[in-house]
Amino acid sequence: MRRIRMVIEYDGSNYHGFQIQQNAHTIQAELEKAIQNLTGEKTTLMFAGRTDAGVHALGQVAAFDTNSSIPPEKWRFALNSFLPPDIIIVHSEEARPDFHPRFHAVKKRYRYLIYRQREGAVFYRRYAYCNDEILDLAAMNQACQHIKGLHDFSSFCASGSATRTFEREVTECYVIEEDGFIKLEIEANGFLYNMVRIVTGTLLNVGRGIYTPQQVADIIAARDRNRAGATAPPQGLYLVHVTYPEN
């Protein structure tokens, strides 16, 4: 029995998220079906992050056990021939037997895209939040400095989370404007349910002048979801990269 690790890109537009759900179309279900069609083996994927409906990935990591003799680096090509065109394996390799994509991750990076122009929005509406409001980018970046660091992020967690602790350390957080987009880049040792989308909604309120950058520090300290901004739409969110100790 070997454990295979994969890095996966997917367009989440037509899926009810990554994780298998009863009577729902999911990324995990498509991957497990492809493995079974290729090898005849039924398997349960382990994965780094449970992305929600409509959320995309450039670097999702998953792993599974197999008795197949397919060389580790060939799984990428073999599985892609069984997958729909909106899911692609970009890398495959053998992992150590105890490797777990979620429990062994030390950092995750997400990106949120906001498309800034009215023209062309029809083409980007599934891959970015289309918003051409006037926004104060400098103020948004000042607010990002308050988000960085080790904090209790209860104010940035949607209801329904089963987490036992709300403390996370954000090591990178900034916004830039380029190529017609505002891009939020955020990296942390872990994220709460809808945390990046709530951070985005809060930063947008800073950009609009509804909150000052300093008020973001107050929102964090309040540990109250009602104090933060709205949850930004899912289609602008991308899981970009997962870091492991050996990276």
Say if residues 8 and 31 touch (Cβ distance below 8 Å): yes
Query: Any long-range contacts for 212-220 (C-beta under 8 Å, 24+ apart)?
Result: 212/139, 213/139, 213/140, 213/142, 213/143, 213/145, 213/146, 214/146, 216/143, 216/146, 216/147, 217/146, 219/155, 220/146, 220/147, 220/151, 220/152, 220/153, 220/155, 220/156
Say if residues 102 and 14 touch (Cβ distance below 8 Å): no
Q: Is 52 a catalytic residue?
A: yes
Of the candidates 11, 52, 65, 132, the residue annotated as catalytic is: 52
List residues with catalytic annotation.
52
